[in-house]
């Protein structure tokens, strides 16, 4: 089962950025661990600090043989109508993830522009938020996801 993990702005700085919130581990190291721990899943990873590149990747994967997208849109979560429109337009289901508990942070982070078009949202479990989202897709029966599945 093919799953894309899509990370937005500043997530390339994991391991260096605000370690008290995001931890000291790089996403690349964590991604390698996920691939080892979940060999039945065909995982791919893309990160960009640019909104347009994230939209292009959603469009590319959104009508493909991928069975799911796990998306941490970073700060774009709270501001991007364009990303929410892209998620709404595609067929592959999306799960929104956040490393920190966005509801325990600044008030502007409490509103997600993408959540209404995602299958669900997971936040506050550190990098393990990604694993929880992967387990959701892993446990679904093939007929429950894929083309025609609505976010």
Catalytically annotated residues: 22, 98
Distance, CA of 124 to chain centre: 14
Q: Which two tokens mark 140?
A: 């679904």
Q: Long-range contacts for 48-51 (Cβ within 8 Å, ≥24 apart)?
A: 48/7, 48/8, 48/9, 49/8, 49/9, 49/10, 49/12, 50/9, 51/76, 51/80, 51/82, 51/83
CA distance from start to end of the chain: 18
Q: Which residues contact 81 (CB under 8 A, 6 or more apart)?
A: 113
CA nearest neighbour of 69 among 43, 48, 89, 102: 43
Distance, CA of 37 to chain centre: 18
């Amino acid at each position: 089962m093919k799953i894309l993990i899509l990370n937005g702005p500043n997530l390339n700085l994991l391991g260096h950025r605000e370690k008290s919130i995001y931890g000291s581990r790089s996403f690349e190291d964590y991604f390698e661990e996920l691939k080892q721990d979940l060999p039945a899943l065909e995982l791919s990873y893309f990160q960009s600090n640019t909104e347009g590149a994230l939209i292009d990747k959603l469009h590319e994967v959104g009508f493909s043989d991928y069975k799911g997208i796990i998306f941490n849109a970073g700060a774009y979560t709270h501001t991007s109508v364009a990303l929410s429109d892209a998620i709404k337009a595609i067929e592959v289901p999306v799960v929104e993830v956040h490393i920190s508990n966005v509801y325990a942070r600044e008030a502007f982070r409490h509103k997600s522009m993408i959540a209404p078009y995602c299958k669900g949202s997971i936040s506050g479990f550190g990098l393990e938020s990604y694993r929880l989202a992967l387990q959701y897709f892993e446990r679904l029966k093939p007929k429950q996801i894929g083309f025609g599945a609505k976010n």
